[in-house]
Each structure stands twice: as structure tokens, then as C-alpha cells.
Amino acid sequence: MVLYRNNGICPKCKTNKKIFNQSYCKKCKSIYRKEYYLKYKEKEKQNNLRYYSQNKDNLLKKHKTWCKTEKGEESIKKSNKKYLNKPKTKLRIKLHSQKPRVKLQRWQYRQKNSSKLLRKNNYYKRFNQDPEFRIRIRLRSLLYISLKKYIKNGKVMKSKKYGINYEKIIEHLKPFPRDLSNLDIHHKKPLFYFKFIKPNGSPNLKEIKKAFAPENHQWLSSNINRSIQHRILLK
């Protein structure tokens, strides 16, 4: 090891004394470090950019499929919520809605779509007042959610095409308990016992019809329902 080269004077600036055991003085060393860091940061950035531009299609495809996974959906929902809850965003939305141009646009939209909006309004009214209507929607979403898990290619068809009759299910669920808020519509034989998809990938209509037969539905407290599912999954 060569110590005190140049009589202990920094070879770079040639004025300051260098640090013991180091090649440069304190000042030069810190400048050198900063430069080194920036250089590699820039390099890293460029590497990333190059990698992105070379694999753009693949990466976008990967991202798209990730967005559709449960994990991806959850994380997107989370980040959206976080963004919308920021005071800055809230203020921006508020200010945006107060602009005359935006106000006019909204007024025009309401004028143009009055019948559509009325229908929407009636939907909410009925949803709040008619329990049968609400249950029908719950059944529909239940069917959609559970079939969507299995049908990966193609759309989920309307219930009639699967031979599912909501009216009969609703009749079976009558009389409705008084408080529906803590109750779930539960399948006596859990849905994962059924094979909704044939080996060739097409939907197995017989099994779907069996799973959504009126007799397979019952009211159950949400907590119990969850614990039963949990127990079945654990077994």
C-alpha cells in the first residue's frame, strides 16, 4: 500500500491534503462519489428503458394478464382508492366540477339522457323497496361471479340459457327472513363440488343447472356461511 503519495496532496485538485489511506481529498472524493452514483443511475435508467422498448409487447401483455388476476385487481382497486382519497385529488375534482364548461356539459348530458337517468333512478328506488328485486340481482351476480371463475374462454351467458330459473329459486327462498342484511344465499352443496366445465372446455349445462337448482339454495347467516366454506376448504 502506498501512503502519502504526492506528499499527501490530492492529485485531483492539487491543493487540499488527501485523506489518510485514500487517493483523493474529502472534497474530490464526495464529487467523485456523486458523479459515480449519477452515472450508474443514468446507466440503470437506460438499461431499463432499453429492456422495456425491446420487450414492450410482452411486458404489456404480462401487465394486462396481471391486472385481471385477483391480486392485480385488488392492488389496482387499492391504489385507485388511495388516489381518490388524497385531499389534493378531492380538491381537483371539486374545482373541475365547478367550471362553467363542465357544468354546461353535465346539464346537456342530463337533458340528452333524461330517460336513461330516470330508468336508473327507478332502478335504485326499486332496489331499495322491493326485496324480491334485490334478491334477483344478488342471484344474478352470484351466478355471474361463480361461473366466471370457471369459464375462462368466452362470456357468461344469460341464466335462461343455462336453464336457471330465478323465479323458482326466489319461490324456494320464501318466506324471506325479516332482516336480510346479515344473510347470504348459500348453496347447500357447495359450488366447487360441481364440474361446470367439460374436459373439452365447453360449459357443462347439466351440472350448472343442478348447482343452481332451487333446492340447492338456502338462507344462512353470513358468518356461518363463511365458516362452513372455510371448514370445507380445510378438509
Q: Which residues bind Zn ion (CB under 5 A)?
A: 10, 12-13, 16, 25, 28
CB of 29 to Zn ion, least distance (A): 8
Find out whether 186 and 225 touch, Cβ atoms under 8 Å: yes
CA distance 78 to 76: 5
Cell of 139: 342471484
Q: Which amino acid is at 130?
A: D
- Residue 13 CB, nearest approach to Zn ion (Å): 3
Which residue lies nearer to Zn ion by CB, 13 or 59? 13
Look up cell 346479515; give the residue. Answer: 182
Q: Is the CB of 10 or the CB of 143 nearer to Zn ion?
A: 10
Phi, psi for residue 182 in degrees, rounded to 5: -100, 15
Q: How far is CA 132 from the centre of its chain?
A: 30
| Residue number of the CB atom closest to Zn ion | 10
- Least distance in angstroms from the C-beta of 22 to Zn ion: 10
Whether the CB-CB separation of 11 and 5 falls below 8 Å is answered with yes
Q: Which is nearer to Zn ion, 11 or 201 (CB)?
A: 11
Q: Which is nearer to Zn ion, 32 or 51 (CB)?
A: 32
Cα Dmax for the chain: 99
Shortest distance (Å) from residue 62 CB to Zn ion: 48
Question: Please, which residue, 27 or 230, has the CB nearer to Zn ion?
Answer: 27
- Supply the minimum distance, in Å, between the C-beta of residue 9 and Zn ion: 8
Is residue 9 exposed (0-12), middle (13-18) or buried (19+ Cβ within 10 Å)?
middle
